[in-house]
Amino acid sequence: MIPSKVRRHLVQNEHLIFEQSSPGKKGYQLPALDVPEVDSVAALGAGNVRAAIEDFPEVSEVEVIRHFTRLSTWNYAIDLGMYPLGSCTMKYNPRINEAVARIEGLAWAHPYQPESLSQGAMEVTERLEQALLEITGLDAITLQPAAGAHGELTGILLVRAFLEAQGSPRKRILTPDSAHGTNPATAGIAGYEVRNIRSNDQGMIDLEELARAVDSDVAALMVTNPNTLGVFEENIVKAADILHAKGAMVYMDGANMNALVGIARPGDFGIDVMHLNLHKTFSTPHGGGGPGGGPVAVRKHLEPFLPVPRLRRLNDALTWDYDRPQSIGKVKAFYGNFGVLVRALAYIYAHGGPGLRNATVDAVLNANYLRHRLRPYFDLPYDRPNMHEVVFSDDRQAAKGVRTGDMAKRLIDYGFHPYTVSFPLIVHGALMIEPTETESKRELDQFVEAMIAIASEVDDEPQTVLTAPHMTRTTKVDEVTAARKPIVRWRPA
């Protein structure tokens, strides 16, 4: 019944490293000291020197290799197959990106080494800035933010600084009810109150509701476009006009920019400020949760407020400019997640302008294909052409007592990572599916087969779905006990 993609095989068991430790084992070598030894107690004072680190591991190099290799086999990964997490954009992470990021002159560049000896690193930054400005159609950009949420904070602080310079930072940020959690959380950290804007029955910004909400206390609207339903906000230009008329701005969460590269530019549809997720649209690896890159691009009027330092070209040499009196200051030490920037630029080079557009077309085609193939089996609350992702609801299956989270777990048994569960919040019981351009028709068809099989299991043997996964080495995990009695570190028995 479980189709062709998976079958069982042996997986090694593995204890925590602390449980394998034995005194005196080591996995490192240091060179012989070429200077006189120093007695640490004499040098630092007895009160400053610690006793041995209690219960710290002591293992050999091969034990370390086996430990992590065994653990790694307990993970699913893009390298194993389709990873259709909506909003997360799990596309293939090209290995050339990894190789170039490790070239010595880039990987070992110290942020404080002289500018004359950093021109290569600065040029990487400059070239990426130029490419991203071309892609977004905006006027200026900072590459410093470390991830999407950090970019959001930077962007909202830019809005705040601009408004403050005009007299008042204002009080409120508007977010649609379909927004990602980082949007309201960011607004809070930037010192704003948040007002939720109800979407219309199409799942889009409701222009009337928006017009009612926008007054002189509103600093900005944070909008994701395409929105979290994977649909282009067709009234984005009118929405921007409503905000601009009241002196407010439009912040675009660019997490879904992979649907627009080469097709539409936020700078052309009224956006004042936005972030990009290099770890989504530009293929830098998610690495089990990070790192990322969250460049923020702005229209000209926000440029004076961008974080320091700004890259400038002076007489053929690049320099960091700290003399920016209106800047919001620093959002992160040094110049951003440079190693991530290198990877993103390599991705842009590999694709080139035409290739970037093709990637967008393929991603959107893949998502529409899934919508057409799956709509006979799952409820589609907002039934309309989508961009890079499609959101179904568990309406039909819930009637049988099976929810989106249950089907997600069952999908694991079929050899796929689950889709995004229960987001966006405006869809009750959401199944949010994003294939990306990475997937071939063959992989997509296997996924469709798996989803159809699950839909029929819900009809015929719901218990199988409710108790999934069955094929994994770890069966369903008790998250309730984990939260009631948190054990967040190992301790010796």
Partner 1 sequence: MLAACGLRSANELFDQVPAAARIDHALNIAPGLSEYEIADTFRALAAKNAVGYASFLGAGVYSHYRPVVVDTIVSRGEFLTSYTPYQSEISQGTLTTIFEFQTMICQLTGMDVANASMYDGSTAVPETAMMAVRVTKRHRILVARSVHPEYRDVLRTYAKNQGLPVDEFGYDDESGKVDLGDLDAKLTRETACVIIQSPNFFGIVEDTNAIAERAHAHGALLVYTFAEAVSLGLLEPPRAADIVAGELQSYAISPSYGGPFAGIMAAKEQFIRQLPGRLVGETKDTNGNRAFCLTLATREQHIRREKATSNICTNQALIALMATVFMELYGKQGLRELATQNLAKSRYLASKLKPRFNGPSFNEFVAIAPGADEINRRLLERKIIGGLPLARFYPELAGTMLLCATEMTKRADMDTLAEVFNS
Partner 2 sequence: MNYPEKYRYTKEHEWVALEDGIATIGITHHAQSELGDIVYVDLPKPGASVEKGKTFGSVESVKAVSDIYAPVGGEVTEANDLLATKPEKLNEDPHGAAWLIRVRASNPEEFPHLMDAAEYQTYVGAES
Taking the complex as a whole, how short is the minimal distance between the CB of residue 176 and partner 2, in angstroms?
20
Taking the complex as a whole, how short is the minimal distance between the CB of residue 255 and ligand PLP, in angstroms?
3
CA distance 117 to 123: 12
CA dihedral 233, 239, 244, 246 (to 10 degrees): -150
**Closest by CA position to 191, among listed 168, 224, 160, 152:** 160
Burial class of residue 100 in the structure, from the number of CB atoms within 10 Å of its CB (0-12 exposed, 13-18 middle, 19+ buried): middle
**Closest by CA position to 147, among listed 331, 318, 329:** 331
Helix 338-374 vs helix 119-136: crossing angle, to nearest 10: 30
| 284-323 binders of partner 1 (CB under 8 A) | 285-292, 307
CA distance 86 to 368: 13
Identify the three-state secondary structure at position 249.
strand
Q: Does 336 bind partner 1 (CB under 8 A)?
A: yes
Query: Under a CB-based contact definition with an 8 Å cutoff, are residues 321 and 175 in contact?
Result: no
| 415-454 binders of partner 2 (CB under 8 A) | 422
CB-based contacts of 417, cutoff 8 Å, min separation 6: 76, 81, 82, 83, 84, 85, 90, 411
Taking the complex as a whole, how short is the minimal distance between the CB of residue 90 and ligand PLP, in angstroms?
11
Site for ligand PLP (CB under 6 A): which residue of 121, 128, 149, 466? 149
Q: What does 381 bind: partner 2, ligand PLP, partner 1, none (CB cut-off 5 to 8 Å by kind)?
A: none
Taking the complex as a whole, how short is the minimal distance between the CB of residue 481 and partner 2, in angstroms?
9
Q: Residue 161 is encoded by which pair of tokens?
A: 């600084």
Tell me whether residue 126 or residue 395 sits nearer to partner 1 (CB atom): 126
Taking the complex as a whole, how short is the minimal distance between the CB of residue 480 and partner 2, in angstroms?
4
Q: Binding string, 383-422, against partner 2, x = CB under 8 A?
A: ---------------------------------------x
Identify the three-state secondary structure at position 85.
strand
Tell me whether residue 270 or residue 424 sits nearer to ligand PLP (CB atom): 424
Site for ligand PLP (CB under 6 A): which residue of 84, 148, 230, 339? 148
Tell me whether residue 131 or residue 274 sits nearer to ligand PLP (CB atom): 274
Q: Binding string, 434-473, against partner 1, x = CB under 8 A?
A: -------x-------------------------x-x--xx
| 213-272 binders of ligand PLP (CB under 6 A) | 224, 228, 253, 255
Site for partner 1 (CB under 8 A): which residue of 165, 166, 215, 234? 234
Query: Under a CB-based contact definition with an 8 Å cutoff, are residues 207 and 239 in contact?
Result: yes
Q: Residue 149 is encoded by which pair of tokens?
A: 């949420």
Q: What does 107 bind: ligand PLP, partner 1, partner 2, none (CB cut-off 5 to 8 Å by kind)?
A: partner 1
Q: Binding string, 200-229, against partner 1, x = CB under 8 A?
A: ------------------------------
Identify the three-state secondary structure at position 169.
coil
Only one of the segments 53-61, 146-154, 164-172, 347-355 lies at the binding site for ligand PLP (rule: CB under 6 A); that segment is 146-154
Tell me whether residue 22 or residue 399 sits nearer to partner 1 (CB atom): 22
Query: Under a CB-based contact definition with an 8 Å cutoff, are residues 276 and 265 in contact?
Result: no
What does R_g of the chain's alpha carbons equal in angstroms?
Answer: 25
Query: Under a CB-based contact definition with an 8 Å cutoff, are residues 219 and 206 in contact?
Result: no
Question: Torsion-angle region of residue 360: left (phi > 0), alpha (psi -120 to 50) or beta?
Answer: alpha
The alpha carbon of 41 is separated from its chain's Cα centroid by a whole number of angstroms, namely 46
Identify the three-state secondary structure at position 353.
helix
Taking the complex as a whole, how short is the minimal distance between the CB of residue 337 and partner 2, in angstroms?
30
| 466-485 binders of partner 2 (CB under 8 A) | 479-480, 483-484
Q: Does 182 bind ligand PLP (CB under 6 A)?
A: yes
Tell me whether residue 109 or residue 398 sits nearer to partner 1 (CB atom): 109
User: Which residues make up the interface to ligand PLP (CB under 6 A)?
Assistant: 87, 147-149, 180, 182, 224, 228, 253, 255, 277, 292, 294
